[in-house]
Amino acid sequence: MNIGVIGVNHNSAPISVREKVSFTDTKKIEAINSLLDKDISEIVILSTCNRSEIYVRCENIQEKINLLANFYEDFFDEKEIKNYLFSKIGRDAVSHIFEVTAGLDSIVLGEDQILGQVKKAHEFAMQLGSSKKVFNKLFREAVTTAKEIKTTTKISEQPLSISYIGVKLLKEKIGCLQNKNALIIGYGKMSRLTMTYLQEERIGNIYLANRSHGKVSNISDQFQNVIPIQYDERYEVLQNVDIVVSATAAPHTVLKLDKMPTLNHRIYMMDIALPRDIDPNINTLDHVVVYDIDDLKKIHDENDVKRNELAGIGYQIIHEKIDEFIEWLESANIDPTIKSLNEKCLEIKEDSLEYLFRKLNLDVREQKLVDRMMESALKRLIREPIVKLKQVKDKGKRDEYIKLIEELFEV
């Protein structure tokens, strides 16, 4: 099975490494176009805050995985990246994409966000023409299976999102969040979830800074204690808050060390973005404690046990779906032979009809009837061998039969 994956994720590399090899859409286009020129048939790049992974289908898969390791190093100009790369080929690679899509390979077991991210990564690859028959089948099956797992197990209903764990960590460190004030930077899904969880903790005021201020100007309609501020005011308001949570899609830090004011009270900062929003050096300041995504891996919630039990059901579903995909993939190898047989039948039919119509004085209706009868007869001739061929489970035996058919029919 010529399918493989290589990259870094939260299991193989710390955040300081992952953020250096993050793919923007522009970089995805550049990378995919470059790799298609290296005899790689299909490519999907999945880049999120916790992973940067390249999925490929090609001949000589192990050779190409080695090539991709060098590609990562050269493309991002990171000489040490090879120390953190993981790779899988064959069934292990297929299993990986199923597990990733279902949220079973995430920091937060069973989280929802990755499903949409995988779907978007696949759609992006299809638009570039780098996901074709096999990967279209693989990724669609992975998405469908992930939805089945979530519906069957309800695993995502256990409140374990990044935002939830972030708020849980802050509460653990501070003791009580009631009447504390917070600054939220960014207005994406994670930020909105964070505000919801903070509300449940009876937080005081929440100052909300977003680069596009118009998007948050009417936020008070949804949250009574949220105060929208201009993005440039984010440093000024630090004097009034106890908590900072930043979750933007910015490619650079949004809180910089040299712009930080002198603080006389303790502030806890939670950076749940990648690349990181908050300069890690801010952690060296007095009265400031900065946490990032990797710190969330250290938090264990009481729902972990339940989620792991549900994950076991998910793995069983995935195992069955992978068997079905591999069976489909192996049967797809028969397609060229079937196509050749059909073309051979068409060639015989056309040659025969040309001779018959020359010798017989048939009208148009009679010619169409003869045409259909001959086509039907030829298809009957090859239908049974094709059906039998598809039923053969043993790959070695099937390959022998394919070779025999090709030799006998000269296709």
Residue 189 counted as an annotated binding residue:
yes
Q: What is the pLDDT of residues 44-95, one digit of tens each?
A: 999 998 899 999 999 999 999 999 999 999 999 998 999 999 999 999 999 9
Residue 111 counted as an annotated binding residue:
yes
Residue 180 counted as an annotated binding residue:
no
Per DSSP, the residues of 309-326 read HHHHHHHHHHHHHHHHHH
In the residue annotation, 58 being an active-site residue is answered as no
Kindly indicate the confidence band of residue 246, based on its pLDDT and cuts at 50, 70 and 90: very high
Residue 190 counted as an annotated binding residue:
yes
Q: What is the percent of the chain where pLDDT is above 70?
A: 95
- Helices vs. strands in the chain: H and E counts, helices first: 13, 10
φ/ψ of 44, rounded to 5, equals: -135, 130
Residue 50 counted as an annotated binding residue:
yes
Residue 130 counted as an annotated binding residue:
no
Mean pLDDT throughout 402-408?
78
Structure tokens at 281: 């050096």
Cβ pair 88, 55 in contact under 8 A: no
Q: How far apart are the first and last CA of the chain?
A: 24
Q: Given this model, what pLDDT does residue 153 score?
A: 85
Residue 106 counted as an annotated binding residue:
yes
Contacting residues for 230 by C-beta, under 8 A, at least 6 apart: 209, 213
Given the residues 49, 58, 176, 345, the one annotated as active site: 49
Residue 258 counted as an annotated binding residue:
no
With tokens 């859409």, the residue in question is 25
Burial of residue 94 (CB within 10 Å: 0-12, 13-18, 19+) is buried
The Cα diameter of the chain in Å comes to 104
Bridge partners of 42, per DSSP, are: 57
Residue 187 counted as an annotated binding residue:
yes
Structure tokens at 217: 């100007």
Q: Given this model, what pLDDT does residue 34 score?
A: 95
DSSP state of 255: B
Q: Given this model, what pLDDT does residue 158 score?
A: 59
Q: What is the pLDDT of residues 359-393, one digit of tens each?
A: 888 899 999 999 999 888 888 888 887 777 777 77
- Domains observed in the chain: 3-158+306-326 (3.30.460.30), 162-296 (3.40.50.720), 347-405 (no CATH)
Q: What is the pLDDT of residues 6-20, one digit of tens each?
A: 999 998 999 889 989
